[in-house]
Amino acid sequence: MKLQFKTNINCGNCVRTVTGFINEVKGIEKWSVDTDNPEKILTVEGENLTAEAVIEAVEEAGFDIKIAMPNK
pLDDT in tens, 30-64: 999 999 999 999 999 999 999 999 999 999 999 99
- Using CA atoms, how far apart are residues 48 and 66, in angstroms rounded to an integer? 19
pTM of the model: 0.92
Are the C-beta atoms of residues 25 and 57 closer than 8 Å to each other? yes
In degrees rounded to 5, what are phi and psi of residue 57? -65, -45
pLDDT in tens, 1-27: 999 999 999 999 999 999 999 999 999
First to last CA, the chain: 18
Question: For residues 1 and 63, what is the distance between their CA atoms, to the nearest angstrom?
Answer: 23
